[in-house]
Amino acid sequence: MWEQASQLPQGIFIAYGTVTMNAAFNFTHQRILVTGASSGIGHQIALQLIASGAEVFALGRDAEALAKLGCNTVCVDIADSAALDKALHDLPPLHGLVNCAGISRLEPAAAISADAFDPVMQVNARAAAQVASRVAAKMIEAKVAGSIVNVSSQASLVALDDHLAYCASKAALDAITRVQCAEWGRFGIRVNSVNPTVTLTPMATRAWSDPAKRDPALAAIPLGRFAETVEVALPVLFLLSDAASMISGVSLPIDGGYTSR
Active site residues: 166, 170
Q: How far is CA 131 from CA 36, 53, 91, 217, 218, in A?
A: 12, 23, 11, 33, 34
Alpha helices in 53-152 (DSSP H): 63-67, 81-89, 114-121, 128-142
Instruction: Calculate the dihedral angle through the C-alpha atoms of 225, 226, 228, 234, rounding to the nearest 10 degrees.
Output: 90
How many helices, marked H, and strands, marked E, lie in the chain? 9, 9
Phi, psi (rounded to 5 degrees) for 3? -85, 135
Distance CA 105, CA 231 (A): 25
Helix (H, G, I), strand (E, B), or coil: what is residue 84?
Answer: helix
Instruction: Calculate the dihedral angle through the C-alpha atoms of 32, 139, 231, 58, rounding to the nearest 10 degrees.
Output: 30
Q: Check: CB of residue 85 under 8 Å from CB of residue 134.
A: yes
Distance CA 202, CA 129 (A): 27
